[in-house]
């Protein structure tokens, strides 16, 4: 398999056509080799438009969605970033490369994933990532406040703790709702007590484990 041709096709046919046009993001997709973050058994599917199993019931988001998320949050070099759900570590690497003078704090519930990602990031020479094992589905204020927060799984209800952890000017990406229809949102803290929500697109992705659930009426 010609990996470079497959990577080129992924960027031009899947990602550009999904409104990912930021040249810095597109260039990064050529620098960070997605196949390095995919389990060996699925390496030939690294550039396919699908969720790739990571094991233990977890999966890697499709490449066009990962690229769109990175574009929407607009990471700047000095940003402090929180990623909830390290998973494969591919998005972790993309965020870290953009926050080249800042720091990415990536939290994962599965220790095996975190350990595997640490080895890949070391190979890439990426040293501005703090990998932590824990449950951040309802917030992770320990390292905040943050310029950027990315939730890599959906949440039926968005916890207020994430909004409170944003700096003024900070951006939060979250997929909110329940299957079959969820909404990708970009929330910007425009003042201490004011937020702006932009509805980006409809999608459906797996939920974060232990995500906050909506209150249900019991009759």
Per-residue model confidence as pLDDT tens digits over 156-169: 999 999 999 999 99
Q: Is the dihedral of CA 125, 131, 137, 141 positive or negative?
A: negative
Residue 67, domain CATH: 3.40.50.150
3-state secondary structure of 215: coil
Residue 210 belongs to a domain: no
Residue 14 belongs to a domain: yes
Residue 145 belongs to a domain: yes
Residue 208 belongs to a domain: no
Per-residue model confidence as pLDDT tens digits over 66-109: 999 999 999 999 999 999 999 999 999 999 999 999 999 999 99
The number of domains in the chain is 1
Residue 216 belongs to a domain: no
Residue 23 belongs to a domain: yes
Domain that holds residue 33: 3-203
Note the pTM of the prediction, 2 decimals.
Answer: 0.95
């Amino acid at each position: 398999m010609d990996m470079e041709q497959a990577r080129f096709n992924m960027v031009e046919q899947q990602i550009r056509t999904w409104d990912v046009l930021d040249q810095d993001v597109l260039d990064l997709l050529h620098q960070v080799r997605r196949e390095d973050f995919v389990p060996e058994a699925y390496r030939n599917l690294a550039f396919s438009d699908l969720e790739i199993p990571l094991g233990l019931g977890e999966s890697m988001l499709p490449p066009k969605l990962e690229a769109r998320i990175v574009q929407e949050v607009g990471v700047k070099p000095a940003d402090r970033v929180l990623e909830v759900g390290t998973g494969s570590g591919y998005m972790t690497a993309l965020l870290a490369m953009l926050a080249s003078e800042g720091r990415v704090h990536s939290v994962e519930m599965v220790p095996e994933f975190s350990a595997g990602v640490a080895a890949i990031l070391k190979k890439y020479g990426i040293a501005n990532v703090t990998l932590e094992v824990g449950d951040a589905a309802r917030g992770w204020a320990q390292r905040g406040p943050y310029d950027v927060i990315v939730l890599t799984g959906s949440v039926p209800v968005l916890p207020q703790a994430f909004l409170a952890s944003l700096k003024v000017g900070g951006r939060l990406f979250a997929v909110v709702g329940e299957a079959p229809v969820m909404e990708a949102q970009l929330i910007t803290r425009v003042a201490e007590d004011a937020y702006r929500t932009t509805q980006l697109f409809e999608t459906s992705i797996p939920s974060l484990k232990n995500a906050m659930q909506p209150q249900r009426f019991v009759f």
